[in-house]
Amino acid sequence: MRNLYTCDNCIYNPSQYSDIGSKVGYCLKHSLLLKNSSHTTCHFFQRKDLPLFLSREGHKEHACDYPKSEGIVFYDSRHPEQKRNYSERHVWLTNTFDPYLHEVALYHRSEKKRVYLQAFLSSRNPIKHIISSSLIRRYIQHCGRKGDNYRLVLSLANDLKEKISIQIEDFRVETAYEEFRELKENYLKDITLLKIYGIQEYGSIIGDDKIMWISDELNGSVLYSWSEFFSNVQQLVPLIQNYIINSAQQRGTFFPDSYDFEERAEA
């Protein structure tokens, strides 16, 4: 049975989710490579598969069991994971370059994080969907209520209209074709939900119940086929965006300088 408290399900490791993603993960909290992400964890672990306001109590219990001083450890044995830094030179020399891992490492080193976040959006690639949902959640948590990131969350919601295309090559573990066909539909739903959790988390941060509980509007359609679920999600996007815009307008944060910006652009 899958362990939900290991690094492959943590938002600080953006390029992996369960069996999909880069072969090696990267922890943004510790700035270290994760070669055994399905078996390791740490004090700062935060679940991808639930919004923070629903998983906070579980995180507190987990943090008590794994002190900060231990760093990244194996979940069962508590033995420390070997510390490995990311080296672009090394991956080229050893023919192990992974574009997703590289993008996450570059994001971590960049000072212009918002620009990188936009670059991960509007893609049919499932790994980029996983990366963008994790990075945006981490970013809006860090900014909190003061840094109103409605523009990023509007883009995240718009991304829900993009049809995800999962290939067998997107799995980081060896997967038989018949197994892939069975797993594909579940992963399509899961990756879509990761983005919805990010939107719900934003609702929690700004204190907007409609956005916080937007998943209720799906009326259990996650139990339907992928095509039916995806259709319901697409129909939900305008409502989500309307809630986000109305909420930002009520706070007076919705493009307050847009008139000046348009004038400058025309000049």
Whole-number pLDDT of residue 196: 97
Q: Are 17 and 10 in contact (CB under 8 A)?
A: no
pTM over 0.85: yes
Q: What confidence tier does 1 reach under pLDDT thresholds 50, 70, 90? A: low
Please name the residues in contact with 70: beta carbons below 8 A apart, sequence gap of 6 or more: 42, 43, 78, 80
Q: Which of 150, 141, 149 is nearest to 246 (CA)?
A: 150
Q: Is residue 4 packed enough to be buried (19+ CB in 10 Å), middle (13-18) or exposed (0-12)? A: middle
Q: What is the arithmetic mean of pLDDT over 180-200?
A: 95
Q: pLDDT tens across 41-68, in order?
A: 999 999 999 999 999 999 999 999 999 9
**C-alpha angle 216-8-187 in degrees, rounded to nearest 5:** 50
**Buried-state track 167-176, b at ≥16 Cβ within 10 A, e below 16:** eeebbbeebe
Q: What is the arithmetic mean of pLDDT over 14-38?
A: 96
Q: What confidence tier does 124 reach under pLDDT thresholds 50, 70, 90? A: confident
Q: What is the arithmetic mean of pLDDT over 215-220?
A: 94
Task: Between 259 and 5, name the one with better pLDDT.
Answer: 5
Q: pLDDT tens across 219-248, in order?
A: 999 999 999 999 999 999 999 999 999 999
Whole-number pLDDT of residue 266: 35
* CA count, 13 A, side-chain hemisphere, 218: 24
Q: pLDDT tens across 77-112, in order?
A: 999 999 999 999 999 999 999 999 999 999 998 888
Q: What is the arithmetic mean of pLDDT over 143-158?
A: 90
Q: What confidence tier does 261 reach under pLDDT thresholds 50, 70, 90? A: very low
Q: What is the arithmetic mean of pLDDT over 117-134?
A: 87
Q: What is the arithmetic mean of pLDDT over 108-136?
A: 86
Owner of token pair 């109590």: 57
Mean pLDDT rounded to a whole number for the chain = 92
- pLDDT surpassing 50 at residue 263: no
